[in-house]
Structure formats: C-alpha cells, structure tokens
C-alpha cells in the first residue's frame, strides 16, 4: 500500500472492510439433504374378475399382460361381429364393395335377424335398400343381427360364403382357435373363438381400419325412427374407452371386448362368460385400469438404426449394417425396465450378396432371463458382390477364418420412454 496515495489507500481499506462484513453477513449455504431411496413399486397380481376366460393385451406390442383360460374355445355371441366388421372393412379397402352401395335387405336377413326375432336388431324392413355405411353402424352400435347378415350377403353373395371369408381372414391373422359359421354370432355347434383370438382380431381392426373402428365409440344410433344405445356401458364410464363390442347368449354368457387409450398407451381387454351385464363391464374396466397402472411401454430400438456391423465376405463393402425393420417396443411391469436384456444371433460367416430388408439374424429380448420377443435383424443396405479379385482374396482369407464363432451382443436398450 505504500506506493498508493494516502486517499486511495484509505478507500481500498474501506472497500475491503465492507466486503469482509458482507461475507460475514451472508449465511453459509446449507448442505443438500440427500434424497431418500424409493423402493421399487411392487406389482400386484391381476384382479379377480367375473368371467370364465379373459385376456389383457397391450396394443402397441401385442403382448398378453395377464389372462385366464385365454385359449379356451367359447361361443362368442355378438363378438362375432368384430370379425364381420373386419372383413367388410377389408373388402371396402380392397375396392370390392363401396361405402355408397345400396344393400337390399333379403328375406333371410329380415327373418333371421329382424324385428321378429329375440335377438338384437336394427329393425330393417324386408326388401328395403339401405346404404352400406348405415348397415355397418347399425351392426356395430346397435348390434343388429339383420344388419350383419345383410352386410355378409352383399359382400360375399351369401352368409355361408361370407363365413368362409371370415375363416380365411382369421387364419391370416393367426387366430388358431377360431371357427365362424355365420356373421351375426347366432349360436351353432361349430362356431367358436377364444379370448386371445378376439384380442388379436381387435388389435388388427384398430391398426388396419381406424376409421371403421371409430364407429364403435358412437353411443347411440337411430334407424327407421328407432334410437338405440350402444350396449358397451364403459363408453359412459370412462372417456378413454372407445370400443369395441358386447355379446350375450345363454351359451356364451355376457361378453365384452373393450379398448381404451390413455396418453400414448392403449390396452385391450376381452372378457368372455361373465354372469351379468354389469359383471362384464366391471371386469373389463378392472383389467384396463390394471394394465394402465402397472405396465409401461418402452421403445428399445428405432427402425433403421445400425445395431450390428458384422464382417461381410466377397462383397463390395467389408461390413454389412444390420438393424430392425420396425421400431422394437416392449411392455413390462412398472420398474422392471432395467431387467431387460438384448442379444443378437448372427451367422458366423456372411457372404455377399444381400438385399436391403433381407433377414440375416435375430434380435432376442429377455426379461430377467425369460424370453419375451424375437425380432428379425435385417440388412439395412443392399450389399452386392465384389469384383473377381476381391472375391478371390476373401476366399483365401476365409480359409483361415474357418468356422470361428463370434458372440455378438446388442447395445443396451435406449433410455426408457413411456
């Protein structure tokens, strides 16, 4: 300080003293309180519900999350009309029938499913012509048996021919325990399905024909001056519920095929053989709530992302990038994401050529050691053969390469996103 003027020296001393006083006046910041460790949430077993068989399916993955007697063959009653809806929607999409078609109500449709029967009906008049889309709404919302039969006859020429079409679509969708004999669900001996197969069908309907699926959310519909309510009571209980179909006969009991979407997550609950109308609604609602509360869906791998880049022999390139053709989604119980593991099975020796999209290996997803998904690994690019000398050189190298096995492990799944 001896080199500074006396006035400046005094000023510096005052500033330093003030700074020291301010530092003493500010209390020290408290140490952060450590956050308590939250234990993993236990997942209870599924609820006990009033039904002979039932299934809870995650829509995004098709995984069965919980079930009881899922493959027990049962009379489907009007759950049959979910397949009738699917076939009509498919034939509309294929251009073989058209939304503006006028459909004539035959004597068979009128006599077997009309107002003179004990079953549900749209009250269609014999010989009248009804627009196809009105029949579709009448079948889905009102569960009209006459509408179902009329749609079947218009689509395939006869109800018997339509039943054959239903069975062909069922086989195509992988419904291995299902056989249809009619379009309405009228109880006959050789007409059956399972809760699992109904869930498979429902998932396909939602995915393949979303506009027609949306009809099942309509709460009431009028035809011929008669207004009828949708029999799916859950449409009034929960705004997330947007389908799908009820059914009831003495042989089938009370059935309900329900779906709901909350946020980005959709669940499907199929209940067969409940003892009451209220029982089937309570059962489906309990299953849907259970699925949304205790399960979460994660995207593990994105389409087009390189998951492996193994050696390629006799090709223009030395490596073949491999990935998946569709996003890999997995649904697990809440808190079990860290137990997922992914591995890849790839042939030891890959020799060109390969086409983009060609199956090359398998991505295996396990949860706590138990397999839950096998996904094809595909070539992400075309991989043509190399030139003559390149192939010759690789042939020499392959002699030394032999059959040495290499274990390839997929990278850890991406950060969980619900």
* Active site amino acids: 78, 81, 143
Distance CA(19)–CA(8), nearest Å, equals 17
8 A C-beta contact, residue 216 and residue 137: no
CA distance 81 to 166: 10
Please state the separation of Cα 51 from the chain's center in Å. 23
274-286 as b/e, with b when 16 or more CB fall inside 10 Å? beeeebbbbbbbb
* β-bridge partners, 292: none
Instruction: Compute, in degrees rounded to 10, the torsion defined by CA atoms 58, 63, 68, 70.
Output: 110
Give one word for 136, left, alpha or beta, with left for phi > 0 and alpha for psi -120 to 50. Answer: alpha
* 36 burial type by CB count under 10 A (0-12 exposed, 13-18 middle, 19+ buried): exposed
Q: How many CA atoms lie within 13 A of 353 on its CB side?
A: 7
How is 179-199 classified by DSSP, letter by letter? Answer: B-S-SS----TT-BB-HHHHH
What is the distance between the alpha carbons of residues 150 and 130, in angstroms, rounded to a whole number? 9
Closest CA to 59 of 257, 235, 217, 206: 206
Tell me the C-alpha distance between 65 and 366, whole Å: 15
**Burial class of residue 43, CB neighbours in 10 A (0-12, 13-18, 19+):** middle
């Amino acid at each position: 300080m001896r080199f500074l003027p006396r006035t400046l020296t005094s000023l510096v001393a005052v500033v330093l003293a003030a700074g020291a006083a301010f530092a003493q006046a500010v209390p020290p910041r408290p140490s952060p309180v450590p956050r308590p460790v939250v234990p993993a949430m236990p997942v209870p077993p599924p609820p006990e519900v009033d039904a002979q068989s039932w299934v809870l399916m995650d829509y995004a993955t098709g995984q069965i999350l919980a079930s009881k007697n899922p493959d027990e063959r049962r009379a489907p009653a009007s759950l049959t009309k979910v397949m009738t809806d699917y076939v009509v929607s498919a034939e509309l999409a294929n251009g073989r029938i058209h939304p503006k078609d006028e459909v004539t109500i035959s004597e068979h449709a009128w006599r077997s499913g009309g107002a003179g029967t004990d079953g549900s009906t749209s009250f269609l008049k014999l010989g009248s012509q009804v627009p196809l889309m009105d029949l579709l709404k009448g079948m889905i919302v009102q569960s009209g048996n006459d509408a179902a039969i009329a749609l079947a006859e218009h689509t395939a020429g006869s109800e018997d021919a339509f039943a054959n079409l239903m069975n062909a679509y069922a086989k195509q969708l992988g419904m291995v325990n299902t056989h249809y004999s009619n379009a309405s669900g009228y109880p006959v001996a050789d007409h059956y399905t399972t809760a699992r197969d109904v869930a498979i069908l429902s998932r396909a309907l939602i995915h393949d024909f979303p506009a027609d699926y949306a009809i099942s959310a309509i709460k009431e519909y009028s035809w011929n001056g008669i207004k009828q309510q949708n029999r799916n009571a859950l449409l009034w209980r929960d705004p997330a519920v947007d389908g799908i179909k009820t059914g009831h006969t003495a042989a089938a009991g009370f059935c309900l095929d329900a779906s709901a979407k909350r946020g980005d997550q959709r669940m499907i609950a199929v209940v067969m053989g409940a003892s009451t109308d209220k029982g089937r609604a309570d059962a489906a609602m309990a299953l849907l709530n259970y699925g949304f509360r205790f399960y979460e869906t994660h995207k593990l791998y994105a389409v087009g992302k390189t998951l492996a880049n193994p050696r390629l022999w006799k090709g223009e390139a030395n490596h073949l990038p491999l990935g998946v053709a569709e996003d890999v989604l997995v649904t697990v119980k809440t808190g079990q994401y860290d137990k997922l593991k992914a591995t890849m099975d790839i042939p030891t020796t890959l020799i060109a050529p390969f086409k983009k999209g060609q199956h090359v290996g398998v991505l295996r997803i396990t949860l706590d050691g138990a397999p839950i998904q096998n996904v094809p690994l595909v070539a992400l690019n075309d991989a043509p053969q190399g030139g003559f000398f390149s192939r010759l050189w690789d042939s020499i190298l392959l002699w030394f390469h032999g059959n040495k096995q290499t274990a390839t492990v997929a990278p850890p799944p991406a950060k969980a996103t619900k």
